[in-house]
Structure 1
Amino acid sequence: MNVNNYHFHTTVTEFLSDEFFISSMLDPTAESDLFWQHLLAEGKISEATFLDARQKLLGEPKPMDPLRKVELFMRIRDAQVARPKIRHLYRYAAAIVLATVGASLWFYFQRTAISDNSEALLAATEDSTGIRLVTNGDQTLQISGKEAVLDFSNAENVKLNTQTIELSKKEEAIQHEVHVPLGKRMSLVLHDGTKLWVNAGSSIQFPSHFSDNKREVRVNGEVYADVTKDPKKPFVFHTKEFDVQVLGTSLNIHAYEQDAKHQVTLVEGSVRMKSKTGEYMLSPDQAYFKSGQVEQVKKVDVTFFTSWKDGFYRFKDQPLQDVIHNLERYYGASIAYEPKISTLKCSGYLDLQEDLQAVLRGVAFSMDIQLKKENNTYKLYQKPM
């Protein structure tokens, strides 16, 4: 790349539309590194803009102070923290690499509309109309909106978003169950201060307060947890396939009962895994995987498994069918596709605040396939010969 012939980008959008920038970030060489160092040293490009574009492309986490973490955890759609508005009609905010036969294609997306829930995926939850809090199996609270925060840290003052809610108060622990439909998310603060991010299509059972010697919850789906440390009260997550015991740590549990693959990813601390066939200890940056009867523990980049809670999706060498399945669950939409394209391997980054239809348009364009929408269902298929 000749510096004299290079267009000096001034926005993140321009960087993310530049094939040379993308390739040199994903597969850097000594020459490409020197090229960018020269532009930065000469002040021909903004260092802040360059690093922001790099972060969006590679998913590298930015440092965040504790107060900002709390603010992000407690944010509510259309309440305390408003979504940023689109400044331009075309805002390129997501990128995927599709590895096809002999080629890698990058594409970007713009906003449009979201489709309705998939009939097949609706089996994951009993009710697709809204988040539900069920108390003692009979008292049900319907929660509107795509995101919500339930805070049980103060037993006398339970809060939904910023409002206090009335629940039955008893000295003994009351059992609660939260159901989060497809296309929605919830943040949950338990009585001990443990924070949970509950992904779409998930449910979690928990008590109003924990007993003197144990803390136990049951998970069906995906949950990211920051567990409050208490050496006298180990915290146990129960799933259909395994139990996870922790004292105080940050981890992600992916355990949808209807899925064939399950995993636990450890960010901080240590955990003990116990399945029907064995026990495993995890250290930070390790993940436990279970598929059928096969179990293994290996070192991973945790951001590929935890980024969903921060509103974006990173994936590497995943079959297109797995990416589509995750998008269906997150957006609460139905996406049909031909078997011929299901095994294409994908790597990249998606901004989950962006619109699903725009994502699929990019997929169709880059793979030279067609996209259409029929009866609230998206369909991806090869073009007729």
Structure 2
Amino acid sequence: MENFNERIRYLIMQHLKGESTIHEQLELQEWVNASNDHRELFDQFSDPERLKEELKEYFEAQTNIWDKIDAGIKTPAYIEGPAESVTRTIHPIRHHIRSYVAAASLLLIIITGYFWLRPRHTPIEGRSASVPVAARDVAPGGDKAILTLANGATIVLDNAQNGAIAQQGATSITQLTGGQLTYNTPAKAASVGYNTISTPLGGQYKVTLPDQSKVWLNSGSSLRFPTAFTSTVREVSITGEAYFEVADNKSMPFHVKVNDMDVTVLGTHFNIMAYQDEDLVKTTLLQGAVRVNRENQSVMLTPGQQAQAGKGLRVISDANTEEAVAWKEGLFEFNSAGIEMVMRTLARWYNVDIRYEGSKTGNRLTGKIRRDSNLSDVLQILSTSGYHFKIEGKTILVLP
């Protein structure tokens, strides 16, 4: 527990000095989001006027604060969980803090952090202003999609009740909890129609196809598929980005059509990223085998490889598969990414526009950030790499 407290104190100090790495910002963000107590205390101590007030109280106090820190750290109640409530006005040396680990961190900041900050003239207020207040914040995306049936009727899935939502011939369509749609088809279907599921910007969804293959759609994407697979092949088409776990059926190959490409599989796990605003269409294989066909070119992928289709078709032998499917696991992952690529990714998930003021060149970004974070939290982390941001309605300004 002592080592944990030291770590939190270090992370807060690094943040206030403006010296956090992107990984330290992520770690601090996770701690802040762990409880309302953590967030409240952190917000309070991001305010330099509050630091001055607490510093004054410290020197006026007549008690031994170090005994209080030791008592707080050793209190077993915190190990079991935070206290039921915490007052919004925080006075560490007046028994108003009930989150003891947070109290230890903040008392250290009062005593030492303020003196680190003041001589260096760290522009805390300016840094905070570059990522606006919560009232102007943008919430993360979520489980949203529209299902278009064979007859053209549409169902807004995020508004539909769980359970059976439609019948397409002999195929029943059921919505499950957690943004999932499943198709159940009898062994022999008399008629087949085509359905399309589309996710808006800021949306994602999971579909279980009639053959029990599973498809995860990222934001701004679509999947068109038959209500039953009755031919000698299983064929679907996508736009945007999708992750597939294809049910094994060697007698009925599975084909994914995307732009002018065809990806042929038997039973496998793979991701296709084919957004129109990206230069490359990337097919990343995690398990099994796929063949990527484009015009007169064809490549076979093995696990860990990625096919990139741009002006030509090439294979990356040692692809970063974790980065390719991070979105499905609830993460943004960047590895030496340029700011434009990062902002395109954020624009799709938060449904915002991007505007640049100044140069688009600068530090390249590496790290992981949770996709369930509010936009301002993400921008705060990215700002540690030298970029500055401002949210104006549904537009992010990228500033020099």
Tell me if TM exceeds 0.5.
Answer: yes
Worse overlay, 292-301 or 150-159: 150-159
Task: State the match for 1:238 in structure 2.
Answer: 257
Q: For the Cα contact (< 8 Å) 1:134–1:140, is it kept in 2?
A: yes
| Equivalence for 1:76 | none
Alpha carbons of 1:283 and 1:166: their partners in 2 closer, same or farther (altered >3 Å)? closer
In the TM superposition, residue 368 of structure 1 has moved relative to its aligned partner by: 6.0
Equivalent residue letter for 1:291: G
Identify, as 1 or 2, the structure richer in strand. 1
**CA drift at 1:292:** 2.6
How far the C-alpha of 1:381 sits from its partner, in A, is 1.1
* Closer/same/farther in 2, CA of residues 309 and 11 from structure 1, 3 Å limit: farther
Structure 1 segments unaligned to the other structure (5+ residues): 1-6, 27-51, 57-82, 93-106, 118-128
Partner of 1:291: 310
1: CA distance, partners of 2:322 / 2:371: 15
Q: C-alpha displacement at 1:84, in angstroms? A: 8.1
Distance 1:85 1:344 in 2: 32
Distance 1:164 1:322, change over 3 A: closer
Helix, strand or coil at the partner of 2:341: helix
1-structure distance, mates of 2:257, 2:311: 18
Alignment of 1:121-132 (within 5 A): 131-132=145-146
* Cα distance change on mapping 1:334 and 1:150 into 2, 3 Å: farther
Q: Distance in 2 between matches of 1:150 and 1:317?
A: 45
Query: Shift of residue 374 of structure 1?
Result: 2.5
Report if aligned partners of 1:242, 1:274 keep a CA contact under 8 Å in 2.
yes
Distance 1:281 1:376, change over 3 A: same
CA-to-partner distance for each residue in 1:227-269, whole Å, 9 max, x for gaps? Answer: 1000111111000031111111100000123432110000001
Relative to total residues, which structure has the larger helix share, 1 or 2? 2
Aligned partner letter, 2:173: V
Cα offset, 1:333, TM superposition: 1.6
Among candidates 368, 376, 399, match of residue 349 of structure 1 = 368
Q: Taking structure 1 as the reference length, what is the TM-score of the superposition?
A: 0.65
Residue 143 (structure 1) aligned with residue 157 (structure 2):
yes
The aligned amino acid for 2:38 is H
Residues in 2 aligned to 1:164 and 1:363: alpha-carbon distance in whole angstroms: 34
Change in CA separation of 1:283 and 1:365 when aligned onto 2, cut-off 3 Å: closer
State the distance in 2 between where 1:275 and 1:381 align.
Answer: 40
Q: Which has the larger radius of gyration?
A: 2
Correspondence list, 1:171-186, <5 A: 171-186=190-205
Deviations 1:325-362 (A, max 9, x none): 10111121223223513453111111111111222234
CA distance in 1, matches of 2:395, 2:365: 22
The answer for the alignment partner of 2:38 in structure 1 is 88
Q: What count of residue pairs does the alignment treat as equivalent?
A: 294
Mapped partners of 2:225, 2:34: distance in 1: 34
Q: How does 1:169-248 map to 2 (within 5 A)?
A: 171-248=190-267
Q: Which amino acid aligns with 1:131?
A: A
User: 2:216 & 2:248 partners in 1: Cα distance?
Assistant: 17
Supply the distance in 2 between the matched residues of 1:205 and 1:214 (Cα, whole angstroms). Answer: 15
Between the aligned partners of 1:150 and 1:91, the Cα distance in structure 2 is 46
Between the aligned partners of 2:12 and 2:268, the Cα distance in structure 1 is: 39
- 1:158 is aligned to 173
Contact 1:153–1:192 under 8 Å retained in 2: no
Q: Aligned ranges for residues 46-85 of structure 1 at < 5 Å?
A: none
Q: Report which stretch shifted further, 172-181 or 356-365.
A: 356-365
In the alignment, which of 1, 5, 8 is matched to residue 3 of structure 2? Answer: 8
Which whole-Å CA distance do the structure 2 matches of 1:365 and 1:333 have between them? 21
Relative contact order, higher structure (CA 8 A, sep 6+): 1
Relative to the length of structure 2, the TM-score reads 0.62
Partner of 1:9, secondary structure, is: helix
Aligned-residue offset at 1:165: 10
**1:13-61 C-alpha deviation (Å, 9 max, x unpaired):** 6686697xx98x99xxxxxxxxxxxxxxxxxxxxxxxxx97xx9xxxxx
Report the alpha carbon displacement of residue 157 of structure 1 after superposing the two structures with TM.
Answer: 3.6
Q: Gaps spanning 5+ residues in structure 2: where?
A: 15-19, 43-126
The structure-2 alpha-carbon separation of the partners of 1:196 and 1:166, relative to structure 1 and needing over 3 Å to count, comes to closer
1:149 shift after superposition:
11
Residue matched to 2:67: none
State the match for 1:122 in structure 2: none
**Alpha carbon RMSD of aligned pairs, Å?**
4.3
Q: Is the 8 A contact 1:157 1:164 kept in 2?
A: no
Q: Which residue of 2 aligns with 1:69?
A: none
Q: Measure the CA separation in 1 of the matches of 2:263 and 2:368.
A: 29
* Shift in alpha-carbon separation, 1:269–1:87, aligned structure 2, 3 A: farther
In the alignment, structure 1 residue 134 sits paired with structure 2 residue 148: yes
1:132–1:368 Cα change, 3 Å: closer
Matched residue SS, 2:376: helix
Q: Over residues 177-205 of structure 1, what are the superposed CA-to-partner deviations in whole Å (9 max), with x where a residue is unaligned?
A: 11110001001100111111100000110
